[in-house]
Amino acid sequence: MDKDTSDMKPNPKETANVFSVLFFWWMRELFMISFKRNLEESDIYRPIKADESEKLTDHLEKYWNLELDKLKNLEYVVGKNGQKVPLKKESRPKLYKAVYKIFWLCSVVRVMVPILQSWIIKYFISDPNAEHKISTNEVIVYIIFLVITNAIGIMLLHHTIMQSLHVGMRIRVACSSLLYRKLLRLNTAAMNQTGTGQIMNLLSNDVIRFDQLTMFLNYIWIMPFTTAIIGTIMWQKVGISSFVGIGTLLIIVLPGQGTLSFLNLKLRTMIAPLTDRRVQLMSELIAGIQVVKMYAWEKPFSQIVSVIRKLEIKQIKFSSYVRAAYLAIIVFTERLTVYFTLITFVLMGNNLTADVTYEMSTYFNILQLVVASYFPQGLILLGESIVSFNRLEDFLLMDEVNTRRFSEITPQLQFKSQKPKEESNENLENQIDISRSGSIVPSEHQRLSDLPVHIKLQRVSANWISGQLPPTLCNINLTIKPGQLCAVVGAVDSGKSSILHLLLKELNPGTGSIIFTQGSSKYNFSDNLSTGYFTNNPNLRISYASQEPWLFGGTVRDNVLFGQSYDKARYMQVANVCALTKDFRQFPQGDMTLVGDRGVSLSGGQRARINLARAVYRQADIYLLDDPLSAVDTRVARHLYGKCITEYLHGKTRILVTHQLQFLKRADHIIVLDRGFVKMQGNYNELVQSNKDFIEMLDSLNQAHRKEEENMRRASEMSKRITITKRISRLSITSSIAHSDIDDSDYVENIPEAEMTAHGRVAGRVYKEYLHNGGNNFILFVLLMIFIISQVATTGNDYWLSYWTTLEDVRRIENISDVKQFANMYNDSFLGSIFTLNPDGLLSTVDAIYVYTFCIIACIATTLFRSFLYMKISMNSSINLHNIMFFKLLQARMSFFHNNSSGEILNRFSKDMGIMDEWLPKLMLEAIQGFCVVCGIMIMEAIINQWMLILIAILAILFFFGAKSYMKIGQDLKRLEGVSNPIFSYVNATLNGLSTIRSSGIEIEKLMRKRFDELQDRHSGTWYLFLTCAVAFAVVADLIMCLFLTCICFSLIPMNETDSNRIIVMENGSILEFGCPYELLHDKPNGYFSQMVEKTSNQMAQSLLEQAKKACEKNNDHCELNLSAQNTECESDFTLTEQTAL
């Protein structure tokens, strides 16, 4: 938790010149390091100043507070009759408005880029009927101009996409940090309502939507303009036929993909709460795994999780099929629109020419990408982001702890003292409620700061759940004099801890007054005070030791100091009175020893004493101690009570909740609670003499406490069996004071400081295991064959269009037998065996249309089938991987949970599992489809022009080495990005110690916020380099394609001499189209995110498999990771005995 960005390298982009930024030359040092060795965390650059989490969040919080101010001003409106009309739901604050006000300018994409593409392509198409014949010199000039234009377009588009990704990262960072700041202010009731699972899901699966939202959002309004402009151009070329194609496209997109987008939005709304519940269950399971194993509750827990998982995966399946349909539509939309346009064009009596086919294919390719690809993705992401924004808004609007002043509604305290009136009036001016605002302390407050505090509760009632009966605390009246030690006792759930939370302002009073007076107890208070908190010192300091010891993943000293300055004398004195001195000497690194996540390297007694030491070390006016003696043995408890609570804190106002009834005799005041009521109070002698029920109550409490001690003893024995195998010291087991029991033995486990970082590429076995967990060999073979058949059908459709276009051109050529290039087009024995050829030996136009129709139907059917089959296999794999990891987690030994942080384990079941469920299937399918398309185009170009094989081979070699270099640095950065992002562990630790953090004051809250921002900055530095690396590789790849285009264009110049050769050139139009980098540029937004998320997802898959193996290895059993593909239900019939579980 102590890492910051001071040890990170400065970002060279901040000092780079314009050319270095344009060509990503500032990344050269990182690439050079990657060539020599694996990247390490020390190689990562710190984020640029504009990307710092604190600055971004401060800016967003400013605008969010403005939205909240609107809510305050519009809590109600006055109706016609003067009545108050409640605020309408739609009037509530909107987070997206705050985000829009910050990032709108950065996220605007250049709308003219796709439009200019169509104009440039149209300009370079040679019309054979034109009067002006283009000379060779003109062609060369045009080619040079085209290459230069393409190169400029490459740089513009890639940097636009980089900026969009950059903005998405900023939105995610700002929203994540804003959520964490809200988390620190949530009251306990809201926390109980929310749960850890929802918070973890918000930080993982919800905010990740913002990373790509800005890349596609602008196409929602770009689409109508692009459609209108390109439609006009096409109408000038083919007339009304263009409207048929555009109409087909709009029918597919608006009703079709619009419906898919709506379904996806609804499914996302249903999936998110189910994921919240599952992650919440996993969080509770990991936190209480010791109890689960002790009572052998693995099977009941697995059944509960299985039920939620089945409901979740059912909705995810539907969502994946929606995405499969969307991805399939993208493949055949362009071909279907071209089909209807050309068929209509021909049936209207027009001649089909190569230039018409080429132009229509080009224009519909642009429209298909903008209208059928980017526009629906923008709608889908917008819908998912709206769901995420609404969920974030719901969280941000939850109730907070009472940290605000109430000076405008606080009544004056009525003091009856012997002081002069003037001095009394001066004191009245300083009477305000407890504030954590850290405001400047007046001189009067400085005088009071070291004096004991008088506490008075008048008719206080409070409830954790509003309206619940009976209330948690009911009609509490008590007075604690300055410097007293007040002991609070009672049965379980009697309200003991609630009293402390009430004083901490974690539990808001429903009625009654809580009054803190520092400096004098000779005040008589009016009985007419309104509900609230009152004090004469707004800077009152309260220190709190929680019932459940809270430790974070730092050193022992860090946990004791907790942001306070180090005073050696006071520190050693506190260590002595808290019985830690002996432990410090026997820890491996003394008090600088790491305690591990949740203090798992320590015994229960050590955790309790460090937790108490933190509260005692803090100089405070009031000490609230929630049963700190229950986790230690009797001798240690006697030492802590006598040396620490009684002697060291003497003179301070102390409230001690305890079950150790033997210490009640030494308490100044005793409060006995029963079901939220104060049953009796007074000192020990008074209660014994005046209340006969007191002795009987003590006996009943002793019996109940003995039962609790027996349960704790069993848990302690199990813990000792775990930790005894890894003890650091073989010294005799002694207490920190004489004759301690074994619970406080002085040993510590070796705890890894951070998640281990793997090196090298993602092994092929990861892909193999992922696929085999989705289906057996036969199913995978069927999938492979379907992909091949589908691509053959798709490529065959394109080839037949080229064949038919050339066939129609040939019909108009006289003496066809003289054209050797087309000798295979007549007297074709294969076509002749199926169709009746005309007298010239050519296929008729009608028959060609029949073949074209068959090809388009085959393309549509096979594309849909392969998409659905692949999604089915991916869902099976996701289900089985979750089962593997979950069941092996239940079977793992306790040492596995001690050696791996709860946040790291929970991350596997939240963020990693979310990527596995929703992102990996979609992105891998996109990648596979893209690979198939490229292979299909390469094969077509090789068939049309065999000389292209040489150029394709050179191109493949260049891409191979470029991709190899990129994969090396990309995977290193992805692994480092996971290691530098321990946000889940940090948030989990914060949730467990929220009351302790808030009780430590506003400065500690600021420190926690600062550390969270530093963790975000470390992650942002790695993530930004990962984005830059992907874009830089794409720039290089497209520049290579630009060179490829140049070679193609110059190779076509010699063919542009005769009409017959012109036909060949137009037949090779698909080569020119493929060679144009814009074909790849159109896929780049998908390509970028496909690269990044697929790499991320593959890494997550690897992490999941490794996590399951680690859990299994800790169990010392053989681990078989390949579950049957038929085992797709989230249930298991495994049997665990208590012995194997432990």
Quote the crossing angle between the two packed helices 568-577 and 604-617, to the nearest 10°.
140
Q: Edge-to-edge, what's the strand order for the sheet holding 473-480?
A: 473-480, 453-462, 509-518, 532-535
Q: Coil, strand or helix: which one is 76?
A: strand
Q: Is residue 403 part of a domain?
A: no
Paired tokens of 513: 């007054």
Is a pLDDT exceeding 60 seen at residue 651?
yes
Q: Partners of 515 in the beta sheet?
A: 456, 534
Domain match, 962 and 1001 both: yes
Give yes or no: residues 4 and 122 share one domain.
Answer: yes
Q: Report how far residue 257's alpha carbon sits from residue 249's, in angstroms, rounded to the nearest whole number.
A: 11
How far apart (Å, rounded) are the C-alpha atoms in residues 1119 and 1103?
16
- Indicate if 523 and 664 belong to the same structural domain: yes
**Helices 948-979, 1002-1052: crossing angle, 10 deg rounding:** 180
* The pLDDT of residue 144: 74
Q: What is the rounded CA–CA span in Å between residue 536 and residue 515? A: 9
The most confident of 386-390, 708-712, 964-968, by mean pLDDT: 386-390
Q: What is the pLDDT of residues 230-251, one digit of tens each?
A: 888 888 888 888 889 888 888 8
**What is the span of the domain harbouring residue 473?**
448-540+622-632+647-687
User: Which of the residue ranges 16-30, 617-631, 838-852, 1072-1086 would you say has the lowest mean pLDDT?
Assistant: 1072-1086
pTM beyond cutoff 0.75: no
* Per-residue model confidence (pLDDT) at position 30: 86
Asked if 181 and 111 sit in the same domain, the reply is yes
Do 579 and 519 sit in the same domain of this protein?
no
DSSP letter, residue 554:
S
Amino acid at 706: R
Same domain, 568 and 670: no
Q: Which two tokens stand for residue 423?
A: 């001095």
- Which tokens belong to 544? 């709190």
- Report how far apart the first and last C-alpha atoms of the chain are (Å, whole number): 31
Contact between residue 1077 and residue 121 where contact means Cβ atoms under 8 Å apart? no
Q: Is the pLDDT of residue 900 over 90?
A: no
478 forms beta bridges with: 457
Asked if the structure places residue 885 within a domain, the reply is: no
pLDDT in tens, 153-178: 778 778 878 888 888 888 889 889 99
pLDDT, tens digit, 9 for 90 and up, residues 360-414: 887 888 788 888 778 888 888 888 888 888 888 888 888 887 655 433 333 344 4
613 pLDDT exceeds 70? Answer: yes
Q: Are residues 1067 and 1018 in the same domain?
A: no
Q: Are residues 76 and 166 in the same domain?
A: yes
User: Could you tell me if 545 and 611 are in contact, meaning their C-beta atoms sit under 8 angstroms apart?
Assistant: yes
CA-to-CA dists, residue 499 to 457, 473, 879, angstroms: 10, 8, 46
pLDDT more than 90, % of the chain: 6
Beta-strand pair 669-674/485-490:
parallel
- The answer on 104 and 67 residing in a single domain is yes
pLDDT score of 1049 more than 80: no
Considering only CA atoms, which of 1038, 1026, 1012, 890 is closest in space to residue 958? 1038
Element (H, E) at 78: strand 76-78
Q: Give the CATH number of the domain where residue 546 resides.
A: 3.40.50.300
**335 closest CA partner among 1042, 788, 928, 936:** 936
Write down the residue that tokens 């459709």 correspond to: 797
Quick check: 823 and 750 in contact, CB under 8 A? no
What is the average pLDDT value for the chain, to the nearest integer?
73
Helix (H, G, I), strand (E, B) or coil at 1120: coil
Domain-located, residue 337 = no
Burial of 383 (0-12, 13-18, 19+ CB in 10 A): buried
pLDDT 10s digits, 95-151 = 555 555 544 433 333 333 333 333 333 434 444 444 445 566 666 676 677 677 777
For residue 92, what are the CA distances in angstroms to 171, 268, 761?
21, 22, 48
- In the three-class reduction of DSSP (H, G, I as helix; E, B as strand; rest coil), residue 460 is classed as strand
Q: Which helix (H) or strand (E) holds 270?
A: helix 258-287
- Rounded to whole angstroms, the Cα distance separating 392 from 397 reads 9
Mapped onto helix, strand or coil, the DSSP state of residue 625 is strand
Region label for 87, one of left (φ > 0), alpha (ψ between -120 and 50) or beta (otherwise): beta
State the helix-helix crossing angle for 948-979 and 28-36, rounded to 10 degrees. Answer: 90
Strand segments (E) across 835-962: none
Main-chain phi, psi angles of 489, to 5 degrees: -130, 165
Residue 1008 lies in a domain: yes
Least confident of 188-197, 599-608, 742-751: 742-751
Distance CA 1134, CA 1052 (A): 68
The DSSP 8-state label assigned to residue 1123 in this structure reads: -
Say if residue 439's pLDDT is above 60.
no
Report residue 560's pLDDT band, with 50, 70 and 90 as the boundaries: very high
Asked if omega into 255 is within 30° of 0 (cis), the reply is no
What's the pLDDT at 441? 41
Asked if residue 750 is part of any domain, the answer here is: no
Exposure letters 804-829 (e unless 16+ CB within 10 A, then b): bbbbbbbeeeeebeebeebeebbeee
Comparing 710 with 371, the larger pLDDT belongs to: 371
Helix (H) or strand (E) holding 425: helix 421-429
pLDDT attached to residue 753 = 43
Q: Using N-to-C axis directions, what is the helix angle for 948-979 and 920-944, rounded to 10°?
A: 170
Cβ neighbours around 449 below 10 Å, total: 16
**Please, which residues bridge with residue 672 across strands?**
489, 680
Q: Which of 854, 803, 710, 975 is nearest to 41 (CA)?
A: 975
Q: Is the pLDDT of residue 977 over 60?
A: yes
Query: Are 578 and 654 found together in one domain?
Result: no
What integer pLDDT is reported at residue 702 of this predicted model?
A: 66
Q: What is the pLDDT of residues 447-471, one digit of tens each?
A: 556 688 889 888 898 888 777 778 8
Number of domains the chain contains: 5
d(CA 331, CA 335): 8
Do residue 2 and residue 36 come from a single domain?
yes
CA atoms within 13 A on the CB side of 1082: 25
Residue 907 lies in a domain: no
Q: What is the pLDDT of residues 263-306, one digit of tens each?
A: 887 888 888 888 888 888 888 888 788 888 888 888 888 888 88
Residue 802 lies in a domain: no
Report pLDDT for 722.
45
Q: Which of 218-222, 485-489, 884-888 has the highest mean pLDDT?
A: 485-489
- Residues 573, 717 share a domain: no
Q: What percentage of the chain exceeds 70 in pLDDT?
A: 70
DSSP-derived secondary structure for 379-403: HHHHHHHHHHHHHHHHHHTS-B---
The reported pLDDT for the residue numbered 595 is: 83
3-state secondary structure (DSSP) of residue 5:
coil
Q: Which of 902, 898, 551 is nearest to 721 (CA)?
A: 898
Residue 691 pLDDT > 80: no
Closest among 91, 42, 46 to 70, alpha carbons compared: 91
Q: Would you state the pLDDT for residue 427?
A: 40
**CA torsion angle for 984, 986, 992, 993 (degrees, to 10)?**
-160
Highest mean pLDDT among 529-533, 646-650, 998-1002, 1120-1124: 646-650
Instruction: Give CA angle at 291 (285, 294), nearest 5°.
Output: 125
Whether the pLDDT of residue 309 is over 60: the answer is yes
pLDDT at res. 241: 87
DSSP, collapsed to helix, strand or coil, labels residue 106 as coil
Q: How confident is the model at residue 423 (pLDDT cuts 50, 70, 90)?
A: very low
Which of 203, 39, 204, 45 is closest to 757 using CA atoms? Answer: 39
**Tens digits of residue pLDDT in 810-822:** 776 654 454 444 4
**How far apart are alpha carbons 978 and 971 in whole angstroms?**
11
Residue 526 lies in a domain: yes
Is a pLDDT exceeding 70 seen at residue 832? Answer: no
**pLDDT at residue number 426:** 40
